[in-house]
Structure 1
Amino acid sequence: MIPYVDPHSLKLGPIEPFGVFVALGIFLAARIVVKQSARQGLDPNPIHDYAPWGVGAGVVSGHLVHLLFYHPEELNKSPFQIFKVWDGLSSFGGLLGGVIAAIIYFKIRKVSFAKYADAFALGVAPGWGVARIGCFVAHDHPGVRTDFFLAVNFPAIPYGGPRHDLGMYDAILLFAITGLLFALRNTGKMQNRLLHLLAIIYACGRFFFDTLRATDLNYVDARYLGLTPAQYGCILLIVYGLWGLITKRSSQTGATPASSGSVGTAR
């Protein structure tokens, strides 16, 4: 059983460990997407330019989804709670904001997002996994009580003892998916389809993990017809992933990896 570490004991002044891991995850994701874009012979400049817009939109959307769908009761604190984007974030909300920003950005730049989709998959999975370590350190996704060997020994008050820690499970899943995606990146049949594969595998795992979320604590996620907001998001991801695997053309020959210093442009 994994010992519980009080997240407040890990603070360095105003710096929260959760924020550190989120920042590291974003940095890692951006670096990998740029590197993989160059490897595929694509111009990495659109990724550099998109990154701040994607992060900004993700933070705002992540907060709004957290506030309006997961914990609408927080609006009772103050009407200004909606502007405190640092106070509560939903990863699915962040994903939604990033996707919307990408659609708008790539459309305006007249750049094909599809050409960068594999690079995004290879970066998003490990970056998201690192951010989820922050969730584990903060213990902000407690599950139901259990004696599972990977359970965290939450304190008896107020948690009631050992529980699943879904932040850790999510991180493990995302790192496993990362290994699979990198193993398949040069496979002709999977090229141009990695993002869809990521969507399906992650959504299936996340949908299951959310069935383990605690319902007996004071601060729990809202349910709608018995499902969490993330589970509805998972259904949409599965539909998107299946659609992509069925309709997207794979590249049997694939793009020739770019040699050092040789980067083409994509339009």
Structure 2
Amino acid sequence: MFNDWFKIGPITVHGYGFMIAVGILFAFWLSERLAKKQGLEYEKIDGMIFFIIIFGFIGAKLLYIATVWDTFLKNPVVILSNEGFVVYGGIIAGIIAAWIYCKWKKWDFMRYANVLMPAVSLGQGFGRIGCFFAGCCYGIQTTAWYGVEFPAESLGPGAGIKVIPTELISSAGNFLIFAFLLRNLLKGKHPEDTAAWYLVLYGLGRFLVEFLRGDLIRGQIWIFSTSQFISIFVFLAGAFLLWYRQNHSDLKKEVAA
């Protein structure tokens, strides 16, 4: 909405970048706390989180480039822009990075995934608030009372156009997912299902929110947006993990160990 907050000398502090930073810091802090509670090597988790963040940013940028491939071919400099990230690219790359790191350290990947996913949801909640400040990821036009207008200089659709604030809807959804995952991990009957529940809930939520999105540069696969298409497989992967855990007691024992 108002992305340029204030200046520190020649540096402008943007709302988008600030909220991303806040999300990362909170996710970092929460991951350590949860790892300690779960009896994991929380003192050594910093390296994995840093690894995940680097891979996440690269993955988010690469998936964005894939959705605007024609534009990228005409103007490759787009890769240097501080705008243009697709969350799913970051999530997928981050999961791969976590798996690689756990294999390297000989850690139980699923135990760490169950700890990290509540933190990921928390970070995403703050990140989507950042999207709102920047004006990106906006919704379809509306005349309803809850519609918002973005300044002409923002990444929104333009001055005078009211749209659904899908960024705030996504943020609220992520915070709700965070609350559910945190409770499941700390007090639920099956804390070993936490990572799987993240895939199910985020996949479903993202699929539905995409119907309300109005920004055009999102890519399309068949009748779905790129993120909707990916959401189908994310949801199915989570559902499969839940089913598999419930029907294979050996996995339950391994993950809950």
Residues in 2 aligned to 1:165 and 1:240: alpha-carbon distance in whole angstroms: 29
Do residues 131 (structure 1) and 94 (structure 2) align?
no
Compute the displacement of 1:243 (Å): 1.3
Structure 2 contact 149–160 (Cα < 8 Å) conserved: no
> Which consecutive residues of structure 1, in runs of 5 or more, have no partner in the other structure?
256-265
Equivalent in the alignment of 2:212: 212
Equivalent in the alignment of 2:88: 92
What SS does structure 2 have at the residue aligned with 1:22? Answer: helix
Deviations 1:203-229 (A, max 9, x none): 1111111111216xxx53222212111
What SS does structure 1 have at the residue aligned with 2:114? Answer: helix
Residues in 2 aligned to 1:85 and 1:192: alpha-carbon distance in whole angstroms: 39
Equivalent in the alignment of 2:199: 199
Residues in 2 aligned to 1:57 and 1:222: alpha-carbon distance in whole angstroms: 22
Q: Which has the higher helix share?
A: 2
Residues in 2 aligned to 1:72 and 1:26: alpha-carbon distance in whole angstroms: 28
Do residues 53 (structure 1) and 51 (structure 2) align?
yes
* Equivalent position to 1:7, from 3, 8, 21: 3
| 1:80–1:229 Cα change, 3 Å | same
Question: 1:200 is matched by which residue type in structure 2?
Answer: V
Structure 1 contact 129–175 (Cα < 8 Å) conserved: yes
* Equivalent position to 1:18, from 16, 21, 29: 16
Percentage of pairs with the same residue: 25
Deviations 1:51-109 (A, max 9, x none): 2211111111111111112x224314533433x16331111111111111112111111
Equivalent in the alignment of 2:102: 106
Question: 1:75 is matched by which residue type in structure 2?
Answer: F
Residues in 1 aligned to 2:226 and 2:163: alpha-carbon distance in whole angstroms: 22
Structure 1 contact 117–192 (Cα < 8 Å) conserved: no
Q: How much is the aligned-residue C-alpha RMSD, in angstroms?
A: 2.5
Structure 2 contact 110–195 (Cα < 8 Å) conserved: no
Equivalent in the alignment of 2:235: 238
Question: 2:121 is matched by which residue type in structure 1?
Answer: A
* Equivalent position to 1:31, from 21, 29, 32: 29
Q: Aligned pair count?
A: 245
Residues in 1 aligned to 2:51 and 2:62: alpha-carbon distance in whole angstroms: 17
Structure 1 contact 125–178 (Cα < 8 Å) conserved: yes
Equivalent in the alignment of 1:143: 139
Equivalent in the alignment of 1:184: 184
Equivalent in the alignment of 2:162: 162
Question: 1:116 is matched by which residue type in structure 2?
Answer: Y
Residues in 2 aligned to 1:135 and 1:62: alpha-carbon distance in whole angstroms: 14
Structure 1 contact 22–134 (Cα < 8 Å) conserved: yes
Higher RCO (Cα < 8 Å, 6 or more apart) = 1
Question: 1:120 is matched by which residue type in structure 2?
Answer: L
Do residues 122 (structure 1) and 129 (structure 2) align?
no
Question: 1:38 is matched by which residue type in structure 2?
Answer: K
